[in-house]
Amino acid sequence: MTVASTQTRAGSPFLCRLVEDQAGNTLMIIAAALLPLIGMVGGGLDIGRGYLVQARLQQACDAGVLAARKRLGTETVTSGTLPSQTAEIGDRFFRTNFKDGVYGSSNRSFEMTLEDDYSITGVARVTTPTTLMGIFGEDSINVRVKCSAQLNFSNTDVMMVLDVTGSMATNNPGDTSSRLEVLKGTIRTFHQQLQATAQSGSRIRYGFLPYSTNVNVGGILKDEWVVDEWGYQSRSLRKEGGETTTTFATASSPISGSRTRTSEETYAADKDRRGNFQCSRAPRNTVTGSTVKTGETSETVVGPPSGTRTIKTYERTRNGDAYSVTQDGPICTVIKTSYRAYKDTYDIITEPSWDNTGKWVYDRIAYDVSDWRTHTEGCVEERQTYEIDDYGNVDLKKALDLDIDLVPTDNPAALGITIVENLNARLFDKPTGDGSRVTFDNSSVTKWRPMYPDWIYGRDKEYNGNGSFQTRRESTAKEFISPSLMGTAACPAPAAKLSTMTSSQLDAYLATLYADGSTYHDIGMIWGGRMISPTGLFASENADVSAGSPTNRNLIFLTDGETSALDISYGTYGFEPVDVHRWSESSRYSLVETIEKRFEFACSEVRKRGVTVWVIGFGVELNQIMRDCAGEGHFFEAADAAELNLAFGAIAKDVSELRIVQ
């Protein structure tokens, strides 16, 4: 077989032909450009995947710090460390949102740090493998992101309504301090938490209402909101027989030094043979001092009977401690009054009088109370109300105590108010005992009445338990019970209106709180609502900072016990069985039921004002009324200090704004 070769040009060598042939140049150019093209495409793919990993990693980082900051408790404010449980929550959210090995990644890590402003910052890292870039020696891409979450408080009002009854002086199991002292410490930490995370330019205000048998709100009332004269369930001497003289002491006025009251001890009351609880023991008084007469004057009394009135003025100095015992159901509380170089002055007055035959006139007696700021502690009796049978149909034109926004007026008729008790048509004894009587102007029905425990007597109930309460006038030689002498007329520490507070101002206020009295929840909710309402007594002070900056309003109601009402107490509704303002022994509801139904109604009125209500049971299980008042997710039961701290921490987190800041 012969193979023939074809020549394009006769006699041309093979290499020359190859040089002149251009048919394969394109292939060589493509081969030369292929490597950089692979680099460009592969790099784009690998970098694109890196950006995808970075986006997912950023989302996971944000989720982790948000979850951790939400979980963060108020203990970090004092400890300055990130709790292990908080770190675990944050890490769990991170790992859930960026699973191990996703997109072929490796070396996943997530670290969190608690910053000085109590924000939580995080750094997340992961290694992503490359594909085509490996040809150029780049086997992986390191991806790193940062994130930060912070709780911020905008304009916020927090009204704390605090049970300060006698049982708050007891300890919860496992706690080394009393409930009241534990509460003070928790409030301090709560205050630190809110202040530390406040937004720049925001306003956070705190208000306090201690409550027990009544509330001490005199210091926040205007003079025109309080009556100048009022009738009290009291007594006066019947002046019969021959002429004689009477000697008595006036109320003392402080000059210098200090006199303070504290709760020293609690113990279980003894039961007598009738099953009644009685308090017996108290420490021995250690008060010493001296009394010096500083002046004496006399004046003529026209009478009858006529004669001379002698006024001797004394100054008294005392040092030491005096003790008394108050009772809250089965709990007895020892109250210590400490005198430290305490000096006061008083008068001893001797004046003409009729020979006392041993008879007292017990009745509602009219007193001038225009100087109540000087002579009372600041607790007040409620304004007009009535005995309510149907709490689903309350008439707020009659139950003025439950109208939390009603501002006192001298013209109640202009507001359509119904006069429940026509004071113009009723006579009241005057304290002179000479038989003279007065009537009151109905304009006082919208105003509050100062409390004077020393004037109150409960007819016809004797100290030995004999007799029953009556509303009729009584003339007798018998001694009827006095709530002041029995220790059933407690007046708690003064209320504090909503205001911004530094830590030192907060400490100064908390130092005034002490435990005493019985548990009347309704008056706490009523006055707590009045003090935080944006449309009531303090509307101008409680208004929003601006239309574009609304206020987040919160009322925290804390109690350590169920309603504990005593018919022998003198409280915000007077001497209940004798005054019969809202309840009597023949009422449809018991006194306890009356208090709880009024609490329930008052709570609904507070919530209508856009206020979030929180209820905490400290060392006690909350009843359904308390739970319904707060609503699901807004009530807590704390058995000890740790759980109380968690409850306040949960409230702090809920009223705040959680946001990503980086």
- Please state the three-class secondary structure of 245-267 as a single string: EEEEECCCEEEEEEEEEEEEEEE
The H helix count followed by the E strand count for the chain is 14, 26
**Residues 343, 257 contacting (CB under 8 angstroms):** yes
Question: Which of 170, 210, 225 is CA-nearest to residue 450?
Answer: 225
Cis amide linkage into residue 304, ω under 30° from 0: yes
Give the torsion sign (CA, 160, 164, 167, 170).
positive
Question: Which of 601, 340, 567, 616 is CA-nearest to residue 461?
Answer: 567
Q: Residue 380: CB partners within 8 Å, gap ≥ 6?
A: 214, 215, 217, 218, 221, 226, 448, 449, 450, 451, 572
3-state secondary structure 533-574: CCCCCCHHHHCCCECCECCEEEEEEEECCCCECCCCCEECCE
Amino acid 431: pLDDT:
85
**Residues 279, 324 contacting (CB under 8 angstroms):** no
Amino acid 196: pLDDT:
81
**Residues 576, 583 contacting (CB under 8 angstroms):** yes
**Residues 651, 639 contacting (CB under 8 angstroms):** no
Domains, the chain, ordered by start: 25-152 (no CATH), 156-218+491-657 (3.40.50.410), 229-378+419-484 (no CATH)
Amino acid 52: pLDDT:
85
Return the H-helix or E-strand segment holding 530: helix 521-532
Return the H-helix or E-strand segment holding 25: helix 25-71
Amino acid 1: pLDDT:
34
Alpha-carbon distance of 654 to 641, in angstroms, equals 20
**Residues 645, 79 contacting (CB under 8 angstroms):** no
Amino acid 471: pLDDT:
93
Compute φ and ψ for 499, nearest 5 degrees: -160, 160
Amino acid 7: pLDDT:
44
Q: Residue 134: CB partners within 8 Å, gap ≥ 6?
A: none
Task: Give the DSSP letter of residue 22.
Answer: -
**Residues 613, 603 contacting (CB under 8 angstroms):** yes
**Residues 416, 408 contacting (CB under 8 angstroms):** no
Task: Decide: helix, strand or coil at residue 117.
Answer: coil
Amino acid 518: pLDDT:
94
Other Cβ atoms closer than 10 A to 329: 17
Other Cβ atoms closer than 10 A to 199: 15
Mean pLDDT, contiguous 10-residue spans, the chain (662 residues): 41 59 57 52 66 88 87 59 85 91 89 82 90 66 87 84 96 96 96 83 93 97 97 83 80 90 85 72 86 94 85 94 85 90 93 73 94 96 97 97 98 95 88 83 95 95 91 90 93 97 97 95 98 97 87 96 93 96 92 97 97 97 97 96 94 73 59
Q: Sheet holding 156-163: strands in order across?
A: 496-499, 204-211, 156-163, 552-559, 612-618, 635-638
Question: Which of 480, 484, 477, 483 is CA-nearest to residue 467?
Answer: 480
Question: Which of 111, 20, 14 is CA-nearest to residue 61?
Answer: 111
Alpha-carbon distance of 538 to 517, in angstroms, equals 28
Amino acid 35: pLDDT:
52
Amino acid 615: pLDDT:
98
